Amino acid sequence: MYPYLRMYKELWKFRNAPPLPILGTHISHHRCWPQDIDPWWELNNGRTLTLYDMGRIPLGERTGLHKLLKTNRWGMTVAGASTRYRRRVRLFARVEMHSRCIGWDARFIYIEQSMWKDGDCTSHVMLRCAITSKAGIVPPAKVLEALGQSAQSPTLPDWVQAWIDADADRPWPPMQD
């Protein structure tokens, strides 16, 4: 089940936090609870992605994106992800999460998130997100203009552009056996 109570707690906790520009970093803290672990008593890889929602949702609130989505009856969806897991997060461990938008192209907004424990990065995710309407994908430039921000994206890091290019070569739909 989706952790709605956690989500509402995060939104409540940051309800008076100062607004962030679209490229600002939201920092939050989270604990690995019994419902988050796998049979090896560590943070489950799927639950890690769900916990990253707990950073992205307040980030969207603080940048004004959520208000804009609601006003325009738009949605936001994850259209792709690349995740690295590097350090174990054990039961009851506390992690610090960093969430930030790093740029956009003609169709997608790219969000980078990482979890840290005792100064070490435990995991890192790069997400490709789309703003959607009944008519399809809303161009990020239109979203940024509506937010009162520059529609010009910073140059995406080379590794992100390489991921975008590699994913464009990936066959879709995938082959069936």
Tokens 């897991």 correspond to 85
**Which burial class, exposed, middle or buried, applies to 35 when counting CB atoms under 10 A from its CB (0-12, 13-18, 19+)?**
exposed
157 — phi, psi (to 5°)? -55, 150
Among the listed residues 171, 2, 142, the one whose alpha carbon sits nearest the alpha carbon of residue 69: 142
Tokens 């008519």 correspond to 135
Determine the 3-state secondary structure of 86 from DSSP. coil
Cα separation, 31 vs 47, in Å, equals: 12
Cα separation, 76 vs 135, in Å, equals: 13
- 155 is written with which tokens? 């140059």
Residue 47's pLDDT is what?
96
Residue 58's pLDDT is what?
98
pLDDT digits (tens, 9 = 90+) for 54-81: 999 999 999 999 999 999 999 999 999 9
Cα separation, 19 vs 85, in Å, equals: 30
Count Cα atoms within 13 angstroms, Cβ side, for 102. 18
Which residues in the chain come in under a pLDDT of 50? none
Tokens 């949702």 correspond to 57
**Would you put residue 95 in left (φ > 0), alpha (ψ -120 to 50) or beta?**
beta
Residue 177's pLDDT is what?
79
- Global pTM reads 0.94
Strand partners, 82: 126
